[in-house]
Each structure stands twice: as structure tokens, then as C-alpha cells.
Structure 1
Amino acid sequence: MTTAALRRALTDPGPPPLPERAARLLEELGAPPRLAAHLRAVHGVAAELVAWAAERHPSLGVDPEAVLFGAATHDIGKALHPAELSGPGGEHEPAGYALLRERGVEERLARFARTHASWDGPDIGVDDLLVSLADKVWKGKRVPDLEGRIVDALVAASGAEPWQAFMDLDDVCDRLAAGADRRLAFQSAYPVTG
């Protein structure tokens, strides 16, 4: 069920709109408006990271569809665990993954619901790392270990010197972090409950 507040969170001016499939899932779930606003903010940052990777590091082999859908749904489990919208908790991760799989979302797109907070786990690829990065830098948070994993991937894919890869990633993260206040204000404009 879509409330007026959820509709506004999905359509108001601000970060880019979510992929249609992700927006439809949020509407079907009657997701909290704050969740939709958060997902739009993270998705917008992910879109900028995908564009940066395509322009500056095409050898990285980013799957744009996967990264963008992953960013748009990474916290969808918070529709089932709304207390985690304003407090700590990790129950949303397996719940979101299960919810996406039950609704026919293929593994390559659903996995981000469970991997976005565990970038150091096994079988984590560059797409997972970019969704995790978007989920941090959207609010201006920098995570050296996560960024180090991305630098390693950049070096492995391109043969660039580690310092060059670091500087390039640092530049894009600084630029994205500079918009954190605007994105935080956008998210805060929507209620935690429907």
C-alpha cells in the first residue's frame, strides 16, 4: 500500500529516482517513507560511482544494473524491521535478502541486501564493494578498510600504481561526501513511519 508520504519520498525532487522495479517493491511493501528516501540517496551516490568507474576505470568490470539495483534495495529488509531505520541492528540484512528472493529477484541482484555491511566477507566482488561504499559515503562517512579493498581492485584491474588508484578513489569520495548534508536533509524530511 502506497501512502502519500511514501509516494513523495519516491518522486519528490532530489536524488535520482529508483529503478522502477525497486520502487514498485517498496510500494507493494508499504515501506516507510524514510527508507525510500534513504534508498534514493544511496542509489544516487551509486549512480555517480558507476559513472566514475565507467569513465575512469572501465577495466574494473562493474555491472551497472547490479550496483544500481543493489543500492536501491540494500536496506529493503528495514521495511520488515523499521526500528533499524533509527537504531542499530542487522536483522534487516537476511530479511531483505529473503524478501527479494521470495519476490523473484535473482541472486545477482538480491545479494546486496546481505552483503552491503560485510565487504570483508568471502565472495565479495567489486559491485558489492561499490554498493557498500555508496552506503557509507552518501552521509560523508569514510571507511579506510573498505576503500582499501576498492583500491586493490582498481590496481588489479588496471595495473595502476596503488597511489594513483588511491588518489583517484579519494577524489571521487571527497566529491561525493561534500553532498552529504543535502542528502541527509532529504532523508530527514520524510517520516520513519508511514
Structure 2
Amino acid sequence: MLLHQCEKLNVPIDSEFVKMAVVIHDAGKIVHPHEISAPGSNHEPAGEKMLLEKGISPTLARCCLSHARWQDMECSLEELILAVADTLWKGKRIDSLELRVIDHIAGSLKKDRWDVFPALDSLFEAIANDGDNRLSRSKGG
């Protein structure tokens, strides 16, 4: 849904990068399986390390870190889209992350924040609203 909206707005984005990052960003949970159902961040550097060892590009492997550490890192739009997708999927909304995405998109389109805010904010809300359903299905109940 996020990539579709970016396409509708003519946002220049590497959608293939985002799709791949969505698949691999939590790869470190393979070596830290307790973080599948409990809080933890050990999977982030472990995932990056594992992917680098498997020959994945450093830019893509970095998504293991940036999806959760976007506040502390300089991130591409693709990394920010992954981070916001990850939080919205869980039904969470983080204003500072969402505004960072909106501002990045507005900047790339040479528009004001408020020109793109309504469409993106509505989309963020729609995605987050179904978070409880997705989480209950992913837990098998």
C-alpha cells in the first residue's frame, strides 16, 4: 500500500529495494528466535552481519539496523518506508517517523509537507488500524 501510494504521487523510490528489505529486515531473528515474540534488538546487528557474510550488499543488509534505528541514522527514503511499514504493520503509529517520511517525500517532490500530508496520514491510519488483526493471525490465533 505504501509503495502504491508512492507510485500514485510519482515519488522516486526503489520499490524493489523496499520489497527485498521487507523480506530480510528481521533475518537476525534466526539466531535470536526469542526476539520473535519478545522485545529485543540483538537480531538487528546479527541480521546485518549474517547478510553481509552471505554476500548481500551492505546497503541492503543495513536495513536490519535502520528499520529499528532510524532515529539514530541517516536513512534513505527506502529505509524510512521500511521502518514506517514495520511499525504500521504492528498497529503502531510514531509521529516523528511518519513526519520524517512525509518530509522526505515532500522534499523529493519539491512540495510542502502539507501538500502530501493528508494522503499519507490517511494511509498510515488505514494500515495501522488493521494491526491487531495481523498480529493475532501471525501468532496463530
Indicate yes or no: 2:5 matched with 1:52. Answer: yes
Structure 2 residue aligned with 1:84 = 35
Cα deviation for residue 165 of structure 1 reads 1.8
Answer whether contact 1:74 1:113 (CA < 8 A) is retained: yes
SS in 1 for 2:85: helix
Structure 2 residue aligned with 1:93 = 44
Match of 2:82 among 131, 141, 145: 131
1:114-161 residue CA offsets vs partner (Å, 9 max, x unmatched): 111111233311001000001100021000010111111122111222
Indicate yes or no: 2:100 matched with 1:180. Answer: no
- The two structures have a TM-score, normalised by structure 2, of 0.92
SS in 1 for 2:68: coil
Write the distance in 2 (CA, Å) between the matches of 1:157 and 1:126: 9
Indicate yes or no: 2:94 matched with 1:143. Answer: yes
- Greater mean deviation of Cα atoms: 160-169 or 74-83: 160-169
Write the distance in 2 (CA, Å) between the matches of 1:64 and 1:184: 24
Within 5 A, what are the aligned runs for 1:1-194? 48-56=1-9, 58=10, 60-189=11-140
Write the distance in 2 (CA, Å) between the matches of 1:189 and 1:65: 29
Answer whether contact 1:66 1:108 (CA < 8 A) is retained: no
SS in 2 for 1:88: coil
1:133 partner letter: V
The count of aligned residue pairs is: 141
Work out which structure has the larger RCO, using CA pairs closer than 8 Å and 6 or more positions apart in sequence: 1
Q: Which runs of 5+ in 1 are unaligned?
A: 1-47
SS in 1 for 2:75: coil
Structure 1 runs (4+) deviating above 6 angstroms are none
1:69-116 residue CA offsets vs partner (Å, 9 max, x unmatched): 111111110110111112221110010001111112112221111111
Write the distance in 2 (CA, Å) between the matches of 1:187 and 1:130: 21
Q: Which runs of 5+ in 2 are unaligned?
A: none
2:103 partner letter: D
- The two structures have a TM-score, normalised by structure 1, of 0.68
Superposition RMSD in Å? 1.5
